[in-house]
Amino acid sequence: MRLGLVLALATAPSAVVGALLATQVSARVLAAFFALTLAASAQRMLATSKRAATETRHAQSDRESSSLQFRSEYIDQASGNKIQYAVRHVPVGVATSAIAGLISGMLGVGGGIVQVPVMNVVMNVPIKVATTTSTYVIGITAMAGAFVYYNHRPSYVDPALTLPVTIGVFLGASFGSILIGRIRPTVLRNLFIAVLMVYAVQMALRVFGIGGG
């Protein structure tokens, strides 16, 4: 949670800026931006797959991480191993989180598509910790941008859609939180890359008017 709070310091203000920009930019431009971001994230994760497969982590913090106590451990239920890690390159993570927040605010999606690869590849955070930390940050980031959409007149928030989406996300997230303990990190990482690619293609199709606005 400590790491999440620090990253949220960057994502929250940029999400507000992103949400304000989104009301001025066309849906196709947003879709193109989203598609490129997803493709770049997937490419970066694929490029580092071999290293990450071993889930070997730097055991020592760098200077910034040491001062903020960014060292932790967890028991991986899937393998039974105790995974210890020390977060590194916090300034890079914070800077990238600002971009993630901007995307989140502009597109109404979680900035996890950017944050998870950065945390995992750059900041030395295990994939399971990266996904769960990202979930926490997304809540704060989404809240920062959501009020812009709520207050826009006419509002962009559709009450009839909100309840089924909330229930669906609640059930999915509850199931996911059970599943994440049992799934192997490499499987989770590959699944994440596949989801990034599917969404990248879907968004690219939207740029050309295929598959929705």
Interacting residues with another protein (CB under 8 A): 1-2, 5-6, 8-9, 12-13, 15-16, 19-20, 59-61, 66-69, 71-73, 84, 86, 139-140, 142-148, 150-155, 157-160, 162-163, 166-167, 170
Identity of the residue, 12 or 119, whose beta carbon is nearer to another protein in the bound complex = 12
Count of CA atoms in the C-beta half-sphere (13 A) of 98: 8
Identity of the residue, 160 or 210, whose beta carbon is nearer to another protein in the bound complex = 160
Tokens for 65, please give them. Answer: 């991480």
Tokens for 73, please give them. Answer: 């451990």
Identity of the residue, 6 or 45, whose beta carbon is nearer to another protein in the bound complex = 6
Q: Which residues contact 1 (CB under 8 A, 6 or more apart)?
A: 133, 136
Identity of the residue, 64 or 183, whose beta carbon is nearer to another protein in the bound complex = 64
Least distance from another protein to the Cβ atom of residue 124, Å: 12
Least distance from another protein to the Cβ atom of residue 145, Å: 8
CA distances (Å), 106 to each of 31, 117, 192, 196, 206, in order? 10, 19, 22, 18, 16
Least distance from another protein to the Cβ atom of residue 107, Å: 17
Burial-class residue 80 by CB neighbours within 10 Å (0-12, 13-18, 19+): exposed
Least distance from another protein to the Cβ atom of residue 103, Å: 16
